[in-house]
Structure 1
Amino acid sequence: MSEISCNGDKNNNTAKRKYLGYRGEWYDVTNFVERHPGGDIIEKFVGQDATHVIDTAHSKDVLKSWKPVSLGRKDAPEPYQYDPTSFEKQMLALHVKLKKNGFYDDSVGWFIRKFIIVASLNVVIFILLFNYSNIFYIQCLCSFLLAAFWQQSGMLMHDLMHSQAFQNRKIDEIFGVFFGTFCFGISSRWWKDEHIVHHALTNTVDYASGFIDPQAHEDVWAQNEKLFPFMCEKIHHFFIKIQYWTFLPFCILIGRFGILVDSYRLERRKDVWLAFALHLIWISAMINLLPGWKSRILFYYFASVGEGILHIQLLMNHYSKPFYEKEDMHETGFFRAMVDCNINIVCPVWMDWFHGGLNFHIEHHCFPRMPRNRLREVSPMIKKICAESGILYDECSFTSALTRTMSHLKSVSKLFTAMKDYN
């Protein structure tokens, strides 16, 4: 993004008026910040050009009814020149081309088929347990199917909270709460609040405000040295030193319970709590079909362990990739940063269901509103632009990505230990 000035200081986000840059024009968002449907992420772009974030994150021209700040206004900032790099221009042109050619059009039929398939998993579990709950291998099979149901529901929540299905934010969010909270069990709105920030400022920190990409930070590990200043407690130091041993067990064995606690800790929205109450009702009805508390507890726990694969899928696309400070992120350019901060997972077409579109993470982060069933078609287009620009298009197998993540965590752990010993 262009490096620009707002009221004489691009770092001064506490100025009386708040201006956002879009295609060379300033827009006064002072009174809109609190009403922004995407939350206060807009604050992180005050005094900056936000053209590419705005274009890729919204379904239509959201500034169509807005007027840029008049140059005659007394408090108007100095004009700036919108001059993205060649790579940014090519990527934005691709975005426009894809939109024109229907790649962003709703995929209602495709998603309805996915809805039916995922719902069928739950129906099968109830039928099997109702008729054969005393058979051990049926219990194991149903526990596996419940894990798959949760994982696929989480993927659908992700799609819907990006408005990929119906291209209507309100309708998509209703279905997002259904699959994310009623089916999967977490607060889907909490997840969306964090995910919007994650997409706008992937792998980004801001020491001045204490900001960290909320979906790239956990208290029990640090995957980049830029996170070290946030890890000040002795318990942080203990966990970082062993993070390459604890990463997989934490994700798999207790990942589901951790995200459940995190998502509801500060949740106040009534529709989410209603959906969660209904989730507890159906999951209780399911496990009560099993004979005895021991089998019920083991059934639920092993399903939670199976669902833990989702947490690994969500993290390894980013964990071995670079981090930015906020100002560097703006200067790098949105599309370049999205390519740099992501890894694609190479897999055959028939495995796309398993990854839920996350195997094309570069494409998804560049064009987050594009339905996932179109991402495979877009991949070679971005790969070509990257090759022409001499930019790494990072892709590897699932096992390679996991190995790289583990190796990276170990290297960062050693660096942290060396720095602590030196100090």
Structure 2
Amino acid sequence: MVGAKLRPFLIGSLESTPPPRMPVRWGLTSNPEADPTRPPADPSDAPSKNAAVDLTTRDYRELRRELWAEGAFEPEPIFYMLKQLVVFAFFGAALLALRPSVCSTLLSVVARFIGLERVLDLAANSHTAGPLATWQILLSAALLALSLQQAAFIGHDTLHNGVFCRPRGQGLSRSLLAQLNAGLLLGISCEMWLCEHNLHHAYTLRPGEDPQFRYFPLWLQSVKEIPLWLAELPSARTRPILRAFVWRCVQLLTRVQHITIAPMAMLIGRYNFLLISWVFAFSRRKWLDVSFMAAHLCWFAIWLAVLLPSTRERLLFVAVHYACVGVLHVQLLLSHLCTQQFSADEEATLGVFRFQLATTRNIATNAWDSWFHGGLEKQIEHHLFPQLPRHRLHAVAPRVKALATKHGVPYMEEDFSAAMLLCAHNLARLSIELATVNPAA
């Protein structure tokens, strides 16, 4: 039953998803595999009492039908082939940054092949022995982080069934590509991601229900979370002193949440992601995930042992590399952080289009930096049409924006720095509100 309710999301495997505590309402997203001309089969597709919501939802579904008819949900294989080459290119560049002699050897091979002896001499003279320079370690750590970040985007799109043409689903190619990028390169559990991300799309920012945006006791995102936070405390009847002490600690943490949000996401986001992946994979007996994550640890350990001779260099590399990968977690946060939160009943009164635009934020990019965000910059379009391939998001955005303008729905889009400042301002305001809450009341 749960799988049937979630199937329109078509994000991936459903068997590992736990039963939701709140209902999933049909039609929260696009289902390009379904017949767009078929009449609604679910009661929640029936007209609601809110005429404005009905009109907005009708136009949204009409846009979905148009995109389906235009073939917009069909990916371009060459796009993802090039993106995969970018992943390998960054990986190779990170390797060469630590081993200039390898670059020299490759240059020698090319020189011999094309008969350029002068280039061969240059390659021979470029080899220098000695300890690694700090800049080499920093450069390699950043380049490897870029490789893993771009691999994460491909893994995300693959598990959304947005990379391969129909028939989509649990195919071998899809599984291998996802495990290559998410499991082997990034080192996370695909099944864990599917489980959490299914629910994230189903209950975007619903207080206490969206597993990817529960940050007690670090960051308060909405006043609607305060009752849930209070419920996490020890009982006021049996342990009032402990309850007051814990709440005071929570208030101290959130007092500086507008300052800690970015550095903590960068510094601990990567470690946390790896930890919950291993816990999930072992607890759910996802042995395929375990094998690919173990392979990730193997190649990363070999990288550290072979390419970095001293303990100091290894520690520096790991710290910088994981912090750079942590930028990905900041990108993920900005897509939804400090937007509105709604209960299940409130979601139903809004309709899917208004709900997704109220809980999601786009990041304004240029032609030269959109690659860095990997589709996260068009999060509104992604949440409206989760299976839409990444390279179609920018083309669809003007049509979504026009629909929002037509119905007077705010379309949130900020550049990266402005979004960070906006989130910091809202987090600071929320921390002040939390400081006034009496846990004994």
Structure (1 or 2) with the larger CA radius of gyration: 2
Contact preservation (8 Å) 1:223, 1:409: yes
Aligned match of 1:218: 215
Residue 148 of structure 1 and its aligned partner are, at CA, apart by 0.8
Matches within 5 A, 1:151-166: 151-166=149-164
Residue 153 of structure 1 and its aligned partner are, at CA, apart by 1.4
Aligned match of 1:169: 169
* Structure 2 unpaired stretches of 5+: 8-12, 102-130, 234-245
Mean Cα deviation higher: 117-126 or 107-116:
117-126
Aligned match of 1:182: 184
Mapped to 1, the partners of 2:62 and 2:41 lie a distance apart of 23
Mapped to 2, the partners of 1:79 and 1:389 lie a distance apart of 21
Mapped to 1, the partners of 2:192 and 2:440 lie a distance apart of 40
Question: RMSD of aligned C-alpha atoms?
Answer: 2.9
Residue 41 of structure 1 and its aligned partner are, at CA, apart by 5.9
Tell me the alpha carbon deviations over residues 179-237 of structure 1, each in whole angstroms, 9 at most, x when there is no partner: 112101122221121111111111113xxxxx421111112111111111222331434
What is the one-letter code of the residue matched to 1:283? F
What is the one-letter code of the residue matched to 2:96? I
Mapped to 2, the partners of 1:296 and 1:112 lie a distance apart of 32
Contact preservation (8 Å) 1:221, 1:236: no
Residue 263 of structure 1 and its aligned partner are, at CA, apart by 2.2
Aligned match of 1:117: 86
Equivalent of 1:51, from 27, 31, 43? 27
Mapped to 1, the partners of 2:161 and 2:322 lie a distance apart of 27
Mapped to 2, the partners of 1:21 and 1:245 lie a distance apart of 40
Contact preservation (8 Å) 2:97, 2:139: no
- 2:328 matches 1:314: no
> Which secondary structure state, in structure 1, belongs to the residue aligned with residue 436 of structure 2?
helix
Residue 338 of structure 1 and its aligned partner are, at CA, apart by 0.6
| Number of aligned residues | 377
Query: What's the TM-score, normalizing by structure 1?
Result: 0.82
Residue 350 of structure 1 and its aligned partner are, at CA, apart by 2.1
Contact preservation (8 Å) 2:27, 2:45: no
Structure-2 change in CA distance of 1:271 and 1:126 (3 Å): same
Contact preservation (8 Å) 1:338, 1:366: yes
Mean Cα deviation higher: 224-233 or 269-278:
224-233
> Which secondary structure state, in structure 1, belongs to the residue aligned with residue 156 of structure 2?
helix
Mapped to 1, the partners of 2:427 and 2:368 lie a distance apart of 31
Q: Which runs of 4+ in 1 moved over 4 A?
A: 17-22, 35-38, 40-43, 62-65
Mapped to 2, the partners of 1:40 and 1:174 lie a distance apart of 24
Equivalent of 2:266, from 252, 269, 278? 252
Whose helix fraction is larger, Structure 1's or Structure 2's?
A: 2
Mapped to 2, the partners of 1:185 and 1:244 lie a distance apart of 29
Give the number of the structure with larger relative contact order, counting CA–CA contacts within 8 Å between residues 6 or more apart: 2
What is the one-letter code of the residue matched to 1:39? T
* Structure 1 unpaired stretches of 5+: 1-16, 28-34, 70-77, 206-210
Contact preservation (8 Å) 2:36, 2:65: no
- 2:400 matches 1:406: no
Tell me the alpha carbon deviations over residues 122-165 of structure 1, each in whole angstroms, 9 at most, x when there is no partner: 12222332346723322221111011112111111111111110
Equivalent of 2:413, from 395, 413, 417? 395
Contact preservation (8 Å) 1:182, 1:278: yes
Residue 18 of structure 1 and its aligned partner are, at CA, apart by 8.9
What is the one-letter code of the residue matched to 1:372? R
Aligned match of 1:14: none
What is the one-letter code of the residue matched to 1:51? G
Query: What's the TM-score, normalizing by structure 2?
Result: 0.79
Residue 38 of structure 1 and its aligned partner are, at CA, apart by 7.4
